């Protein structure tokens, strides 16, 4: 599956796809993309007029059904240490989240950041609303083609903002190296 994203700026494009040896998700209430009721619930969370988002959800569900990720039911902050500890030596764990930390308190966000920092081999990539990770700030603006000014801040390691993105993934503005 390919997701079309309008890009702006010097977006670093890797020369090859990374080798992914495990995909693990953590959620308080795990949903199953192969379960029709779970998929109907997810689709119901998309605004009725957002046909492209619904199409992407259904296409992603088909991909997930063919090669399901390992899903762990639990609290993100309380579970992340165990998940990262289970990653084999010599492998770079990538912790990626989008629109997640806004749902926990600032105190729990700080605890999550501390837990990730305790695993220096992990690469932490975040995509959260402005101010959700206080250390990530940027002066970047949405592209002129964006329908509104809403955006997320793309960060690395909780300390470096590298871009901004559309909250639903239709565009990405990358920060030029300073």
72-84: b (≥16 Cβ within 10 Å) or e: beeebbebbeebb
Q: What is the pLDDT of residue 10?
A: 94
3-class secondary structure per residue, 16-83: CCCCCCCCEEEECCCCCCCCHHHHHHHHHCCCCCCHHHHHHHHHHHHHHHHCCCEEEECCHHHHHHHH
Question: pLDDT at position 178, please?
Answer: 61
pLDDT at 33: 86
| 128: its two tokens | 């959260």
Write down the pLDDT at residue 1: 62
Give the pLDDT of residue 56: 87
pLDDT digits (tens), the chain, 178 positions: 677 889 999 999 889 988 999 999 999 999 998 899 999 999 999 999 999 889 889 988 998 899 899 999 999 999 999 999 999 999 999 999 999 999 999 999 999 999 999 999 999 999 999 999 999 999 999 999 998 899 999 999 999 999 999 998 889 999 977 6
Please state whether the predicted TM-score (pTM) of the whole model is above 0.95.
no
Give, in order, the Cα–Cα distances in Å from 132 to each of 74, 84, 124, 126: 21, 23, 15, 10
Query: d(Cα 53, Cα 4) in Å, to the nearest integer?
Result: 11
CA 74, CA 135: separation in Å to the nearest integer? 26
């Amino acid at each position: 599956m390919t997701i079309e994203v309008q890009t702006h700026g010097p977006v670093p494009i890797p020369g090859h796809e990374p080798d992914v040896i495990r995909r693990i998700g953590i959620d308080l209430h795990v949903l199953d993309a192969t379960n029709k009721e779970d998929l109907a619930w997810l689709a119901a969370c998309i605004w009725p007029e957002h046909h492209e988002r619904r199409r992407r959800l259904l296409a992603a569900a088909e991909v997930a059904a063919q090669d399901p990720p390992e899903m762990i039911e639990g609290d993100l902050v309380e579970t992340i240490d165990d998940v990262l500890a289970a990653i084999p030596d010599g492998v770079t764990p990538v912790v990626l989240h989008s629109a997640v930390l806004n749902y926990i308190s600032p105190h729990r966000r700080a605890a999550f950041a501390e837990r990730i920092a305790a695993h220096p081999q992990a690469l932490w990539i975040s995509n959260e609303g402005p101010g959700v990770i206080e250390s990530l700030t940027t002066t970047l603006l949405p592209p002129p083609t964006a329908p509104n000014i809403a955006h997320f801040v793309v960060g690395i390691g909780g300390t470096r903002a590298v871009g901004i993105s559309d909250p639903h993934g239709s565009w990405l503005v990358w920060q030029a190296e300073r």
